[in-house]
Structure 1
Amino acid sequence: MAARFFQMKEIRCTLLTDGSSDKALLPIISWLFREHCPDFAVQKAWADLYRLPKGTVKTLPDRIRFSIELYPCDVLFIHRDAEKMELEERIAEIQTALQDTEHPPTVCVVPVRMTEAWLLHDEPAIRQAASNPNGRQPLSLPKMSSVENLPDPKQTLYDLLRTASGPISRRRNFDPGRMAHRVADRISTFEPLRQLSAFSRFERELVAAAKEQRWTMS
């Protein structure tokens, strides 16, 4: 009798971001799906629109349309950094851009300030990303309650990576941008981010989309 193999159902998700450094959100999305949709395998894609001819993509609706056409998906994650705008303003901006566009279920991803604020809670991950996991240099990680108020989370993360990399001899090929991506890949849990208002909203929106699509039983 032939053996039967269980094949997990799949969820295809596409992430549209402000910039390439925001691909660091993909491990966070994976973690949330494992938390809420453990019976599904997740296939993730980052919408790389930079390869399109210059001038092709001019507006957010353009970016949404091309992301869906080039990276078909079951759910589209649309990222915008809040930066100097209020969280609700950024979300309203995304919702307006969606109005005249056919699209799959969408989830807004709007960190307060910028994505790097969501990568500042895991000291071992920062040390590993800096290729110096056994380093003893003190790292002054910001309190989780304060990361949404940091003026420049990206610079904060880069400074931590520079310190974690150790002596100047180790920094010859220091590339904080590449290392920042490695931080996200090495974080095992993003549960501390649930203290943050922007992350909590993001998670609630993901869960709502998952329930609507019957990807979760809770």
Structure 2
Amino acid sequence: MAVMERLEFRLLTDGSSDAVLIHPITWILQQHFRFAINGTWADLRRLPNPPKDLRGRIEVALDLYPCDVLFIHRDAEGESLEGRVAEIEDAVVGLSDPQVPVVLVRMQEAWFLIDEPALRCAAGNPHSGVSLTMPAIDTLEQIPDPKRMLYDLLLKASELTGRKRKKFNPGRQVRRLGELIEDYSPLRRLTAFRHAENETLTTLRDCLDAVPTIDRRRKQ
């Protein structure tokens, strides 16, 4: 059996800001496999008439962004995790390309409220002494508006005032935060993250014959 040396994955998301999920997905892969990993976002925004339905978006993403595996993101948006996963599974019926569902109970920003030092660095003020109230990991999926909370924390950590404060772009800093977080293991306490990790391992094993060579999972 040939040993896989490189994995190319693509991420199809609900919106452009969700492309930051490439970082926790890459982290998951790095916890279990030794091959090189390259992930990119399947950007459909420049198409003259991008498809609206999920099946159409998946087909176009696979056509424009060939890959070993496609990660398909959806926010639960009031639906259950199981319901959204079933929706994705229905949308990929008949497609031979490997896919992994990534369903978040809340918006993706909830997955980046886990690392205060990284958040301070992303805000451009790593040595800030301002007090930040970070949420407990176990409450992340219950936060009504994680995006607002994350943006507010970034702005507070920046300690900017006046004109610089008005020009502060928290969306850009979230993308930087995704890069700066080195350890996403606290998210293993969340059902949605554990589901994404388990689905990743199952898909790579069953569809690509990729056998995990390391397993850094531990009880959180």
TM-score by length of 2: 0.91
Map 1:140-151 to 2 at 5 A: 140-151=133-144
Instruction: Quote how far apart the aligned CAs of 1:173 are.
Output: 2.1
Kept after mapping to 2: 8 A contact 1:107/1:202: yes
2:29 maps to which residue? Answer: 33
Assess if the C-alpha contact under 8 Å between 1:91 and 1:110 holds in 2.
Answer: yes
Match of residue 174 from structure 2:
180
* Pair 1:107-2:100 in alignment: yes
Q: How do 1:1-218 and structure 2 match up within 5 A?
A: 9-38=5-34, 40-54=35-49, 56-100=50-94, 102-169=95-162, 170-212=164-206, 213-217=208-212
SS in 2 for 1:200: helix
Instruction: Report the Cα distance in structure 2 between the residues aligned to 1:217 and 1:53, rounded to whole angstroms.
Output: 41
Q: Which residue of 1 aligns with 2:216?
A: none
Contact 1:61 1:98 in 2 (8 A): yes
Q: Does the residue aligned with 1:80 lie in a helix, a strand or coil?
A: strand
| Residues 55-98 of structure 1: CA deviation (Å, up to 9, x unaligned) | x4121001000000000011110000112111111111111111
Alpha-carbon RMSD? 1.5
Is the partner of 1:50 in helix, strand or coil? coil
Please state how far the C-alpha of 1:201 moved relative to its aligned partner: 0.7
- Spell out, residue by residue over 1:6-64, the C-alpha distance to the aligned partner (whole angstroms, 9 max, x if none): xx8111101000001001101111111110112x111212100001013x412100100
The one-letter code matched in structure 2 to 1:50 is R
Aligned length, in residue pairs? 209
Please give the secondary structure, in 1, of the residue aligned with 2:82: helix
Query: Structure 1 segments of 4 or more deviating over 3 A?
Result: none
Q: CA deviation at 1:177?
A: 0.7
Q: Is the 8 A contact 1:91 1:108 kept in 2?
A: yes
The AA in structure 1 aligned to 2:161 is: I
Distance 1:202 1:196 in 2: 10
> Distance between the aligned counterparts of 1:152 and 1:95, measured in 2?
28
Letter of the 2:110 counterpart: A
Q: TM-score if structure 1 supplies the norm length? A: 0.92
Q: Which moved more, 1:91-100 or 1:113-122?
A: 91-100
Residue 69 of structure 1 aligns to a residue whose secondary structure is: helix
Aligned equivalents of 2:130, 2:104: Cα separation in 1:
29
Q: Which runs of 5+ in 1 are unaligned?
A: 1-7
CA distance, structure 2, for counterparts of residue 143 and residue 181 of structure 1? 22
Structure 2 residue ranges without an equivalent (≥5): 214-220
Sequence identity, in percent?
46
Is the contact between residue 68 and residue 103 of structure 1 (CA under 8 Å) also seen in structure 2? no
Residue 218 (structure 2) aligns with: none
